[in-house]
Amino acid sequence: MESAQSAVGVITGSGKLMRDEAILEVRELIKENGDGGWDKAWQKNKTPWDAGKSQPAFTNFMESDLGKKIRGEHSKEPRALVPGSGKGYDAAYLASIGYDTWGVDLSERAIQLAEATQPANPKLAFRVLDFFKFEVPETGFDLIYDYTFFCAIPVDLRNGWGDRMRRLVRPEGYLITLVYPIDGPRTGGPPYSVSVELVSETLNGGSPGTASFEKIYDAVPEVTDESHRNRERLVVWRRTCT
């Protein structure tokens, strides 16, 4: 039998490893309530993925030379999307650097908390939406950031995730993925163990002629939380048409 840690994996909160029991409780809520389990978790304050801030790997990249170059390529009113935005740290950060940003989450309670805790900004909007179902804006998004969303969805929704990204990211737009947790062949989730190769296969699994993604940056973050060390990579994808 697998040990508790190998079976459950690790999620961080406030910079510290959370107890395996908390992760198991979240899994049980999802098992009992389906998608509604995420809202139950927020209501019960069982959110071991909530670090209380944006991951430094993401914000440091956006302030790097390449991050600033990407920001400079966008239109005058660039749009960004953060799926599974939770309390909205990442969405608020993107709005603060000039993106008209949507933070979307299935959980009504998460959105309530985001609206109550993040600084007011006319460029920032939080919405209770199903990532897989909401109507795609006509112009798409210049930038999408995925941190703990891909690793949280069931395996049978991964192809749908790739399809939505191909639809949501505008041509020549960018998807930034903080690929985590990279735990090898560990079973069970959420969070499911992921890899850069898995993300690439999922993004580029469309039919010939559909939009695909070119990997333009892939690195172990220079600055990261200690609990993430050796378990994450920051990867930037540029949408192209093939």
At 8 the pLDDT is 38
C-alpha distances in Å from residue 29, one per residue of 39, 46, 47, 190, 215: 9, 10, 12, 11, 36
Determine how many CB atoms are found less than 10 A away from the CB of residue 52: 11
Pairing of strands 141-146, 169-179: parallel
Percent above pLDDT 70 for the chain? 89
pTM across the whole model: 0.90
Dihedral class, residue 105 (left if φ above 0, else alpha if ψ from -120 to 50, else beta)? beta
List of domains in the chain:
53-241 (3.40.50.150)
Evaluate the omega torsion of the peptide bond into residue 181 and state whether it is cis, within 30 degrees of 0: yes
Residue closest to 103 by CA, chosen among 75, 61, 156, 141: 141
Q: Is the separation of the CB atoms in 191 and 8 below 8 Å?
A: no
Q: Give residue-wise pLDDT tens across range 100-146.
A: 999 999 999 999 999 999 999 999 999 999 999 999 999 999 999 99
Q: Give me the mean pLDDT over the 196-214 stretch.
A: 84
Residue with tokens 């093939």: 242
- Indicate the pLDDT class of residue 95, thresholds 50, 70 and 90: very high
The β-bridge partners of 175 are 144, 237
Q: For residues 220 and 142, what is the distance between their CA atoms, to the nearest angstrom?
A: 24
